[in-house]
A and B are shown apart, each in its own frame.
Chain A
């Protein structure tokens, strides 16, 4: 599912509501038919959220960042593989403050390879990523969808991904999400 909408329309707010980082003032978020407050841990265990601020620590290296953000069972080889996949080979032990904005994004996106979550929430994942990176990410999203996973992302790009539905976020309409 792709969220579209003008700047300030509420894409990020909607996404934060869905991940339960924000509490809705009215209405509710359902997970498998149940309100998320009732199955909070079960739900949160199954989602992965990468927002504008990705949680990458500048004074840690790419490898330390990914190790921290990955499940505890992730092996060192898997971490190395994930960083290779986002094109950060050779940069794994440099502090992130010496990397570029696009590379920070890539560190955060490397989580997609190590995570076991079924639902991915990606807020503007293509920001400052180069063309090759965009292509890689598209392949990764397609692979996740083929595994039966769900992806909810906000972007202004047109993505050639099969089965991707578009939902326009408009603050003046009150239609519920067709999930």
Chain B
């Protein structure tokens, strides 16, 4: 017998509460993102013309790595304390609570990254025309990354050190996202129409939101069967 509140909204609320309780740990991808980005001008050159050229790509790669860093823990604690097993034997469609968990993950990783990105943009001399496309593409793109990363996290949840395998599994799948994400920013800086790449990102997000929860549900059942 399960609580009716344990569906999409229930898991969203619970994971947000859990994130709030260990907010230091949850904030680390964001801190990683900011700290590593400050290294770029030190390592390359403080020359704003050179930085501006690299900024879209660098910010996107940093965002991708920061998201990847936090993805591994998505199902790990639920797996260890037995909550995942309780979820698997709850009388409901598995995809919905899974989607709730991913949305919570995006709200505590992707969304803060998006909100802090203008600051990083300024630091890396990103031209002003690129700021809004940067935020829009990061908002859509990090949601994609959370969804795709969750598939890898579900497949590697039973491994003690699954982090490296997780990267190998999901980085190839992250490639289209980073291509269109940084293309949107670059187009805006070059004065071209940036809504095209953004629309492709939105399409990828829709497809991922529809398909990834099903893949994750399958992966979790597969893992629990071993």
Specify whether A and B are partners: yes
Across the interface, which residues of A come within 8 angstroms of B4, CB to CB?
A: 71-73
Across the interface, which residues of A come within 8 angstroms of B14, CB to CB?
A: 68
Question: 1/0 per position for B74-99, CB-CB distance to A under 8 A?
Answer: 00010011110110111110000000
Answer whether residue A70 sits at the interface, using C-beta atoms and an 8 A cutoff. yes
Q: Which of A40, A57, A115, A117 has most B Cβ within 10 Å?
A: A57
Alpha-carbon gap, A72 to B85, bound state (A): 19
Tell which of A16-24, A153-161, A162-170 binds the partner.
A16-24
* A interface secondary structure, majority: loop
- Using A53-B80, A53-B81 as known contacts, say yes or no to A48 and B1 having CB atoms under 8 A apart: yes
In contact, A22 and B81 (Cβ under 8 angstroms):
no
Alpha-carbon gap, A73 to B91, bound state (A): 16
Tell which of B16-24, B123-131, B184-192, B197-205 binds the partner.
B16-24
Number of interface residues of A (CB under 8 A): 38
Alpha-carbon gap, A141 to B14, bound state (A): 30
In contact, A41 and B17 (Cβ under 8 angstroms):
no
Alpha-carbon gap, A44 to B93, bound state (A): 12
Across the interface, which residues of A come within 8 angstroms of B90, CB to CB?
A: 44
Which parts of A1-30 form the interface with B (CB within 8 Å)? 16, 19-23
In contact, B91 and A69 (Cβ under 8 angstroms):
no
Answer whether residue A140 sits at the interface, using C-beta atoms and an 8 A cutoff. no
Across the interface, which residues of B come within 8 angstroms of A48, CB to CB?
A: 1
Question: 1/0 per position for A55-67, CB-CB distance to B under 8 A?
Answer: 1111110001000
In contact, B82 and A22 (Cβ under 8 angstroms):
no
Answer whether residue B36 sits at the interface, using C-beta atoms and an 8 A cutoff. no
The one of B1, B2, B82, B88 in contact with A53, judged by C-beta atoms closer than 8 angstroms, is B82
Question: 1/0 per position for B60-82, CB-CB distance to A under 8 A?
Answer: 00000000000000000100111
Alpha-carbon gap, A51 to B10, bound state (A): 22
In contact, A45 and B91 (Cβ under 8 angstroms):
yes
Answer whether residue A47 sits at the interface, using C-beta atoms and an 8 A cutoff. yes
Across the interface, which residues of A come within 8 angstroms of B92, CB to CB?
A: 41
Answer whether residue A49 sits at the interface, using C-beta atoms and an 8 A cutoff. yes
* CB-based nearest A residue for B85: A21
Answer whether residue A116 sits at the interface, using C-beta atoms and an 8 A cutoff. yes
Nearest Cβ on chain A to B100's Cβ, whole angstroms: 13
The one of B5, B17, B86, B224 in contact with A60, judged by C-beta atoms closer than 8 angstroms, is B17
- Using A44-B90, A59-B21 as known contacts, say yes or no to A54 and B2 having CB atoms under 8 A apart: no
Question: 1/0 per position for B7-29, CB-CB distance to A under 8 A?
Answer: 00010001001100110000000
Across the interface, which residues of B come within 8 angstroms of A56, CB to CB?
A: 81-82
* CB-based nearest B residue for A23: B225
Alpha-carbon gap, A45 to B90, bound state (A): 7
In contact, A47 and B224 (Cβ under 8 angstroms):
no
In contact, B21 and A47 (Cβ under 8 angstroms):
no
In contact, A68 and B3 (Cβ under 8 angstroms):
yes
Which parts of A73-128 form the interface with B (CB within 8 Å)? 73-74, 95, 115-117
In contact, A41 and B1 (Cβ under 8 angstroms):
no
In contact, A72 and B86 (Cβ under 8 angstroms):
no
Across the interface, which residues of B come within 8 angstroms of A59, CB to CB?
A: 18, 21-22
Across the interface, which residues of B come within 8 angstroms of A34, CB to CB?
A: none
Nearest Cβ on chain A to B226's Cβ, whole angstroms: 9
Pairs A–B under 8 Å by Cβ, sample size 19: A19-B89, A22-B225, A23-B221, A41-B91, A42-B91, A44-B90, A49-B85, A53-B81, A53-B85, A56-B81, A56-B82, A57-B18, A57-B83, A59-B22, A68-B6, A69-B3, A71-B1, A73-B4, A95-B21
Report the 4 A-B pairs with minimum CB-CB distance, sorted nearest first: A53-B82, A44-B91, A117-B1, A41-B91
- Which positions in B face A, CB cutoff 8 Å? 1-6, 10, 14, 17-18, 21-22, 77, 80-83, 85-86, 88-92, 221, 224-225
